[in-house]
A = this chain, B = another copy of it.
């Protein structure tokens, strides 16, 4: 389970759903292997076993393949880990991001999707939707902390879940510095401390 775009998910469904999943898996594998610029309909067709003309007809092209891979993620059952404490949950959220990008294949595919969003408005829109969904699901971490009385009810959960993971993405894609467990721990602990200090309180 992952907070990042490139985690293949097994889905039930008929032939259409299986084809869609196969094309999505092939898209992620091609992105991991060749990057955003190396993604081709031909490569996805060959890897998925779905005929090239079918891929063109149903997905249009590489942008459509990326968009559909992101859209499909909305159907998965990803939920943040429930560790029993707010600090533990935030740490688990940050750690999920760190581990996703440490995974060679998943990290490369997710990175390629983030890169694609710089070049394609459609990919950017799909990525925005993907993360909006992931972050909304992550807000349960804050909801549980509120229910336990760790945080006041009027807390900006959206800001907190973004604060937890932002330092990791900043290093990955802007400063291009390595991320390790210390960075992950700092990121989570800083968000927790800020939340407890009332920075994210809504009035």
Binding site for B on A (CB under 8 A): 35-37, 111, 114-115, 117-119, 124, 127-128, 131-132, 135, 156, 159, 162-163, 165-167, 169-171, 173-177, 183, 186-187, 189-191, 193-194, 196-200
Find chain B residues with CB under 8 A from A37 CB: 119
Is the pair B118, A36 in contact by a Cβ cutoff of 8 Å? yes
CB of A150 to closest CB in B, whole Å: 15
Assess whether A199 is in contact with B174, with CB atoms less than 8 Å apart. Answer: no
How far does the alpha carbon of A167 sit from the alpha carbon of B200 in the complex, in Å? 13
Give the chain B neighbours of A189 by CB distance below 8 A: 194, 199
Neighbouring B residues of A131 by C-beta, 8 Å = 174-177
Report Cα–Cα, A105/B55, bound state, in Å: 38
Asked if A175 and B190 make an inter-chain contact with CB atoms under 8 angstroms apart, the answer reads: no
A194 — which chain B residues lie within 8 A by C-beta? 189-191, 193-194, 197
Task: Give which listed residue, B127, B166, B196, contacts A167 with CB less than 8 A.
Answer: B166
Residues of B within 8 A of A127 (CB): 174-176
Contacts of A159 in B (CB 8 A): 183, 186
Cα distance A132–B173 in the bound complex, in angstroms: 14
Q: Which listed residue, B176, B193, B199, touches A124 by the CB 8 Å rule?
A: B176
What is the CA–CA distance of A193 and B171 in the complex, to the nearest angstrom? 21
Q: Chain B residues near A114 (CB, 8 Å)? A: 118, 173-174
Q: A115-B118, A193-B193 are in contact. Are A128 and B186 (CB under 8 A)?
A: no
